[in-house]
Structure 1
């Protein structure tokens, strides 16, 4: 009855906390961590069977890494390899390096410093992707860049976990440590090779039975058996689970397997995050509040600075680089998985673990508010003094020295040359309507310049760019960009230089209409509302034909 009672208490508290979290828009992970804090030994002490809870949490880690392995796609990596490998690689490397130096300055050993760098280099995939999807920013330039860095971080945890045993005092040193690491990599390669030859055939046979329960049990056996084999060979259970997911991802049944595993993963990973919350000592946090808040600010500033520098190096505008940096400045959920492995190897002391937990949870708690304000903060920063001059060189300045200033009058200006802008340009051409185009993406603008389109590469928020495209003499200005904050800034800039133009803005949500109209737009067309209308019209047409 002990474990059943404890689970009832845990899930009851979690349900209440998650309800309240949803009401005040706090991420689910933060709510689960606080649930553990309330129920745990440092809170109300409602849970007694802590060992059993930790066992269930271990299953949660296995299922979490298993599903990450199943979602891992080599094709996805290759599509955005520049940002994943260069952007994500530099972010993890430089963040780890800077945290390592700071940790050494405060007296940590080199092993502890490197491990701390690993922990704080990771960001929260769950929080960031949820908020970007909620705000409809996944297709934006900064949304795609943030996703690429997160993908690299999710993959980077595997080599980090391989290194954990060699960072402990009892771990390998010198050549012995390198040999052990090489042995681990070899074991991983052999398991993947053998399993890819065996697993697809097994899954094919199971699928032919059309028995859903058998399919689920087979997937679980693959997960736990691979984890046990890697553990027996001296590697981490979690690494084995990731490998099992990677093996299943190569099968044509991977999506079906993933859909079966998601409910189980959600339940057990919830228990994992609750168990992490149970470890946080409130008294320790209260007694060291100023230090913890200071360290949290320092970690977030380091991560933001590194990501901004990496973004600028990869030709991202300073504004978008700032938004990515602010979005990824928190510590992530996979840091808890890594810290769990570190506790087994006793890399950090009890107090050092408490500092890590407090900084991580605090950074995750404030993250939604920072991400929500990131576009406004970035816009404010790039309009200040010296930053404004630098921003004009990197993002607001007209890249299009290929073209002289546009001489057209009473024409159409299209800002944002994605699919909507291209369709509009085609219609304008067919109807002999003169037009000019403003496009920030250098690859797109270069492509269409070479095709003879009147493209002015640059940022529509800049008056210089607008004037070069003759927006001050335009009859109609169409703003078709994905970023809502950018659309607002372009609307303001366009109305400032042209009081009489008819400004049409494409938006994602109907909630943005009122703001854009106040800023100077004449018409705002929400994508989702327009799509719903067209679907309704087509549906009615079909039924009218039938009648």
Structure 2
């Protein structure tokens, strides 16, 4: 009896599961495990690679569909200048640098161009996951990273349009075919978006009103795959069609519901896509080219980090923000896999070249969590080095702390970090006319506060001179509204040393951080998620008719239990 496709899909998903679990134990990203599973599985059953390729292509289509749904122009607007200018210049610089190096290594111009473009991209999936886990997606550096990644993701679309034209240029040559393909793509994009905005939100809204999750999923997937089919019919990449379908749905009120409902199915097909990428990586090729792979991965990380750092500082941001953005975006992204896979399918690159590209990308993804952990130590070392060179120190730190007016603050409150949490605290204190000083290294925030007549100091609150300028020796309360645990600990140590009587109030994101700050004898540690749970519990108890005394007693017990766990 012919087993058909089912055994291959079963074994590939099993391999993806095992690989994903393994890397999770190592605190790495599932993508890494999927590709490694593909490497192992492909070595044992190489014939299966071609048989599940069609399913993997659906994974690529659904990946672009979800990117379209998640497209947030409002987030991009907040950091548009640094995200758009920075991402475009960084991609151009890294592409040119990588192209030159790959050409020196003997690759032909087209192959070098494809790999170089892939190397210029960073990983949206990995970076956003790490930022979310750390509770930093809404910080200044988090928003810059997400905006930067969004611009990079959008830049992938023209590349996916041009590659098929390069593969089959026709009589007009490569340049003519590329221009024609881009023109056709623009026409398809405009037509799809115009038609889609008129029809799709209305249809999705009507289907959602039926209150059937199955119909919502089916209609969304039909739209994604149907648009992919239509765009491919007009000679445009199916992935671009799926992306456009996602963009159209992102304009509807039901965009979050569609994303949530289709995500499980998308994740399965995306896993298949990354596993099949592992089939491209032959261990023998990796071993034979390990020197090139290690050198390329190292050079990409270093060059990209330096480029992003210089651009972010050059666009007016504090050195600490620039270091975080630079290290956070220094890897190669998952869309490089999409580009390499497409180029291989079109016959534009050799399997050996694809293996080198995938292995190099994989290595940088493995390094990403460690690069994020090195942000604060790297900033400390960089700050100490910049201090020795006055003009560099002024460029990187803004030099603003030296120009701050010498105000004698007394019996006041210091707010370190003026994001969402710090902002609400500041607004409340301002409404009660209580004296407070804000310390933040977001120049736009500081400028806005000063225009409102609020005392604000630009700089990193972990720096001695900055926190002293805020009058820490005379402060009554110090509020730590910054999410970075290491920075919190530095500020706590300094405050406790120079002003032991000051009350310290700090926010935390994780339970482990809560425990650590209690050991450091912080006066009040607040965990926003826990406080939200307490508020919900109080509301529930009120709705159940419990007395005020009973509610207070029960929530007190919960707080005590939380403190002991």
**TM-score, scaled to structure 2:** 0.87
SS in 2 for 1:384: helix
Change in Cα spacing, 1:429 to 1:38, as seen in structure 2 (3 Å) is closer
SS in 2 for 1:459: coil
Decide which moves more: 18-27 or 155-164. Answer: 18-27
> Corresponding residue for 1:315?
316
Report deviation, 1:433. 5.7
The question of 1:28 aligning with 2:43 is answered no
Decide which moves more: 432-441 or 337-346. Answer: 432-441
SS in 2 for 1:438: strand
Change in Cα spacing, 1:469 to 1:284, as seen in structure 2 (3 Å) is same
Alignment of 1:454-533 (within 5 A): 454-516=455-517, 521-533=522-534
Decide which moves more: 272-281 or 22-31. Answer: 22-31
Alignment of 1:31-70 (within 5 A): 31-40=33-42, 43-45=43-45, 48-70=47-69
**In 2, Cα distance between the equivalents of 1:427 and 1:194?**
47
The question of 1:294 aligning with 2:298 is answered no
Alignment of 1:73-112 (within 5 A): 73-112=72-111
**In 2, Cα distance between the equivalents of 1:537 and 1:197?**
45
Aligned length: 544
**In 2, Cα distance between the equivalents of 1:371 and 1:213?**
39
**In 2, Cα distance between the equivalents of 1:288 and 1:504?**
53
**In 2, Cα distance between the equivalents of 1:470 and 1:358?**
52
> Corresponding residue for 2:187?
186
> Corresponding residue for 1:72?
71
Alignment of 1:139-154 (within 5 A): 139-154=138-153
Change in Cα spacing, 1:274 to 1:158, as seen in structure 2 (3 Å) is same
**In 1, Cα distance between the equivalents of 2:464 and 2:61?**
53
The question of 1:238 aligning with 2:239 is answered yes
Q: RMSD of the alignment, in Å? A: 3.0
C-alpha contact (below 8 Å) 1:396/1:461 kept by paired residues: no
**In 2, Cα distance between the equivalents of 1:92 and 1:479?**
36
SS in 2 for 1:122: coil
C-alpha contact (below 8 Å) 2:280/2:354 kept by paired residues: no
Decide which moves more: 210-219 or 14-23. Answer: 210-219
Report deviation, 1:253. 3.9
Change in Cα spacing, 1:100 to 1:234, as seen in structure 2 (3 Å) is same
Change in Cα spacing, 1:420 to 1:257, as seen in structure 2 (3 Å) is closer
Decide which moves more: 316-325 or 240-249. Answer: 240-249
SS in 2 for 1:478: strand
**In 2, Cα distance between the equivalents of 1:500 and 1:126?**
45
Deviation track 1:80-123 (CA, whole Å, cap 9, x = no partner) reads: 32233223222222222222232233333333332222101111
Decide which moves more: 414-423 or 4-13. Answer: 414-423
Change in Cα spacing, 1:96 to 1:205, as seen in structure 2 (3 Å) is same
C-alpha contact (below 8 Å) 1:509/1:528 kept by paired residues: no
Change in Cα spacing, 1:509 to 1:70, as seen in structure 2 (3 Å) is closer
Decide which moves more: 251-260 or 137-146. Answer: 251-260
Deviation track 1:303-350 (CA, whole Å, cap 9, x = no partner) reads: 111111121122222222122211121111111111122113322223
> Corresponding residue for 1:117?
116
SS in 1 for 2:44: coil
**TM-score, scaled to structure 1:** 0.89
The question of 1:6 aligning with 2:11 is answered no
Report deviation, 1:359. 0.5
Report deviation, 1:302. 1.4
**In 1, Cα distance between the equivalents of 2:212 and 2:529?**
39
C-alpha contact (below 8 Å) 1:517/1:524 kept by paired residues: yes
Report deviation, 1:231. 1.6
SS in 1 for 2:332: coil
Change in Cα spacing, 1:351 to 1:376, as seen in structure 2 (3 Å) is same
C-alpha contact (below 8 Å) 1:219/1:257 kept by paired residues: yes
Change in Cα spacing, 1:535 to 1:175, as seen in structure 2 (3 Å) is closer
* Unpaired runs of at least 5, structure 1: none
Report deviation, 1:269. 0.8
Change in Cα spacing, 1:434 to 1:365, as seen in structure 2 (3 Å) is closer
